[in-house]
Structure 1
């Protein structure tokens, strides 16, 4: 694979490389919560190397430890959500801001599942190039679109059926959009969702967002935090109810304990929001 075939994403896209690194790390654990054998491909293509302990400033080390702890929990939560949603009859799946998600390849999907991955051109191009020789386990449809623009038209043009029950995922996405853009996103999702559709998202509440911004305002992790534009509303269940969803919020610490990792976040000053994982059904 030549250099001109693979263009590494920049800006927000580089955060997806970091997530892939954490998923690759989790996949090497004996007690792993999931297995993502393709994650290392993205790291190799991006020329990514793990920093040594000596290279990590203490605040950055704590930040990295929190991400290494929390991202596998949300990944497992959403894996389980998608299995349940397809078992409930959703054969149409949409990953919004899909990044380097490999669920189209690593999960066992029911026959007839069609999975749409919506993201920007550089991310879609990078992922397609890196995985060009790998066959997905469902009908994977990449969709090039900006989620702050008319992405529903691009989705429907790619073959999305707005009359079919859909399982939606917005993982690690909302924090990169403004409050107005998140409201617009929820409006568009609702307009495309028939009753019986499912939705899952990850949420960061306003208090934790403010605390993280203050703590990392001048540190080495500022390059990531400065990309964060807003939080979800403090009550994500009430927020989704306004758009016609019956939602349930889950505490990542409780989910971690149920996966065999109790007390995972006890040592962190700013642990994940107690309502940081959300799933919902369209009513």
Structure 2
């Protein structure tokens, strides 16, 4: 089953493994009861080359833990939320949502099919009105989202977790231009931001141990995401992983100035 996942989708299995590890810690930053099932179902991906993946996981473990908690907090209170490249996170099933909240999960068809199979086997029940939207974010995903019931007249919370680095500059700009056009006043968006771009220490460390994954990276907006958002009608703010690590009671990461940008329309 996991062998049918596209290359980018396969990275979501590794991230699920990291979420499962974090969920098992006594001082966990979040609890994801489905992460282990996703990783178990997809573990065949890693057979034959466990060491590089284990080392890459060690590089990203804290970053993924902090990232997951940050985006969990970011979506809180949202009544219409769109998870762009939703991957194997189970926010619709594990978080408390406002009454009447709707969550749209957009990802490649094979990723969502794998996800649905595992969630069904686990007997998972969403805590909101959840709609899976099979679509390629490099193509016409807007029509699919609208056909699924998305209301562009309502303020929307947009999350692009672990996504933009896999897109080229033009693809990232096109995606965010579409998001902007769909965003009513009061909408919010968040995604990773690395002010040092390709020179970010965490990315450099990852390239040394995980070339199979990092070869898929294309850079997204690079280092000027806040400037792009500001120029397109958003009010951006940034926060670093180091700052969040301290806030969450973890040791600050000293190999990156990266973090997240959030913006409001």
Normalising by structure 1, report the TM-score: 0.85
Higher gyration radius (CA):
1
Structure 1, unmatched stretches of 5+, are none
Cα deviation for residue 135 of structure 1 reads 0.6
Residues 1:210 and 1:39: Cα distance change in structure 2 (over 3 Å):
closer
Correspondence 1:259 to 2:248:
yes
8 A Cα contact 1:36 1:102, kept in partner: yes
Correspondence 1:91 to 2:79:
yes
Q: Match for residue 51 of structure 2?
A: 56
Q: Match for residue 194 of structure 1?
A: 184
Correspondence 1:15 to 2:3:
no
| Residues in 2 aligned to 1:25 and 1:262: alpha-carbon distance in whole angstroms | 17
8 A Cα contact 2:236 2:263, kept in partner: yes
Q: Match for residue 232 of structure 1?
A: 221
| Residues in 2 aligned to 1:200 and 1:15: alpha-carbon distance in whole angstroms | 20
Q: Match for residue 140 of structure 2?
A: 150
Q: CA RMSD in A?
A: 2.5
Residues 1:82 and 1:212: Cα distance change in structure 2 (over 3 Å):
closer
Residues 1:209 and 1:12: Cα distance change in structure 2 (over 3 Å):
farther
Count of aligned pairs: 262
Cα deviation for residue 22 of structure 1 reads 0.2
Q: Match for residue 21 of structure 2?
A: 25
| Residues in 2 aligned to 1:278 and 1:169: alpha-carbon distance in whole angstroms | 11
| Residues in 2 aligned to 1:62 and 1:243: alpha-carbon distance in whole angstroms | 39
Residues 1:215 and 1:11: Cα distance change in structure 2 (over 3 Å):
closer
Question: 197, 208, 223: which one pairs with 2:199?
Answer: 208
Indicate the SS of the match to 1:254: helix
Correspondence 1:221 to 2:244:
no
Normalising by structure 2, report the TM-score: 0.91
Correspondence 1:66 to 2:59:
yes
